[in-house]
């Protein structure tokens, strides 16, 4: 029973290089990539850390929003002129003319895409999230934190390894109010 207990370790590294080395070493110790998370104050690419690419739904959500926006534009430009009782005939223009329709479609498609991109960040990152979380404020000072999820029996082995690899501090991660 005790062996199945999962603990989180938070190691803080002074820089990118030792953090990347530590990730490689953790992998050799049998820690899977899904059991690690890197926290940093500036965007650090997966390639720099030798980590697998992160999945994001933001582009798909953006595309979905663009399609919805386009649909709203189609309704406004093509359908709505027919549903109200006082038709607006402008000069010799067709009842649903091309160029103005293009403007309406463009603006609503872009609006849908921009809104959904913004929403996508919230959905994918689970924002807003004000619950206690595992975190170290030093990351915004340039430190790189690695959050490792491991079984209780491996805790000491991993802690020692992280210290040897240059971690400035290694401690059990505790969720705290940010």
Partner 1 sequence: MTDHKNHAEHAEAHLREKHLMLDPLPRGRMNEMVMESMRHITWKFWVVFGILAAISAYGLFYSWGVMIAEGLGVAGVNRPVYWGIFLVNTVFWIGISHAGTFISAILRVFKAEFRRPFTRAAELMTTFGLVQAGFSIFMHMGRVWLSYWLMPYPNQRLLWPNLHSPLSWDLLAITTYILGSTMYLFLPLIPDMAMARDRSTGWRKTLYKILALGFRGTEGEWTHLRNAMNIFAFAIIPVMFSVHTIVSWDFAAATRPGWSSTIFGPYFVIGALHSGMGAVITVLAIIRGTMKHMKYFIRPEHFDAIGKLMLIISMTWAYFFFNDYMVQWYGGDKWTKQLLHFHEAGPMGWMWFAMLVCNVVIPWAILWNPKWRSTPWLVSTVGIIINVGMWFERYIIVPISLTINRMPFTWRMYQPGIEIPLGIGTLAFFALLYMAASKLIPLIPVWEVQEGQMAHELKKFGRETVVTVSELE
Length of the chain counted residue by residue = 178
Q: Which is nearer to partner 1, 2 or 174 (CB)?
A: 174
Instruction: Give the residue carrying structure tokens 């990539």.
Output: 33
CA distance 4 to 150: 9
CB of 97 to partner 1, least distance (A): 6
> Residues 50, 24: contact at Cβ < 8 Å?
yes
Closest CA to 178 of 139, 146, 147: 139
Minimum distance of partner 1 from residue 2's CB (angstroms):
29
Q: How far is the CB of 105 from partner 1 (least distance, A)?
A: 10
Closer Cβ to partner 1, 2 or 83, answer by number = 83
Q: Which is nearer to partner 1, 143 or 170 (CB)?
A: 143
Nearest approach in angstroms of CB 121 to partner 1 is 5
Closer residue to partner 1 (CB): 5 or 103: 103
What is the C-alpha to C-alpha distance for residues 159 and 11, in angstroms, rounded to an integer? 8
Residues that bind partner 1 (CB under 8 A): 37-46, 48, 51, 54-56, 58-59, 62, 76-77, 80-81, 84-86, 88, 90, 93, 97, 100, 103-104, 106-108, 110-111, 113-115, 117-118, 120-122, 124-131, 133, 135, 137, 139-142, 178
Chain centroid, CA 99 distance in Å: 38
C-alpha 21/C-alpha 172 separation (Å) is: 20
């Amino acid at each position: 029973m005790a062996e199945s207990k999962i603990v989180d370790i938070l190691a803080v590294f002074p820089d990118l290089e030792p953090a990347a080395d530590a990730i490689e070493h953790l992998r050799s110790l049998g820690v899977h990539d899904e059991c690690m998370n890197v926290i940093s104050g500036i965007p650090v690419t997966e390639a720099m850390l030798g980590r697998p690419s992160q999945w994001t739904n933001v582009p798909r959500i953006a595309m979905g929003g663009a399609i919805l926006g386009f649909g709203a534009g189609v309704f406004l430009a093509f359908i709505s002129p027919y549903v109200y009782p006082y038709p607006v005939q402008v000069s010799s223009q067709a009842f649903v003319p091309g160029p103005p329709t293009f403007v309406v479609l463009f603006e609503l498609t872009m609006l849908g895409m921009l809104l959904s991109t913004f929403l996508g960040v919230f959905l994918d990152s689970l924002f807003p999230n004000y619950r206690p979380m595992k975190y170290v404020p030093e990351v915004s000072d340039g430190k790189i934190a690695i959050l490792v999820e491991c079984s209780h029996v491996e805790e000491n082995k991993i802690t020692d390894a992280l210290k040897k690899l240059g971690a400035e501090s290694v401690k059990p991660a505790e969720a705290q109010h940010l």
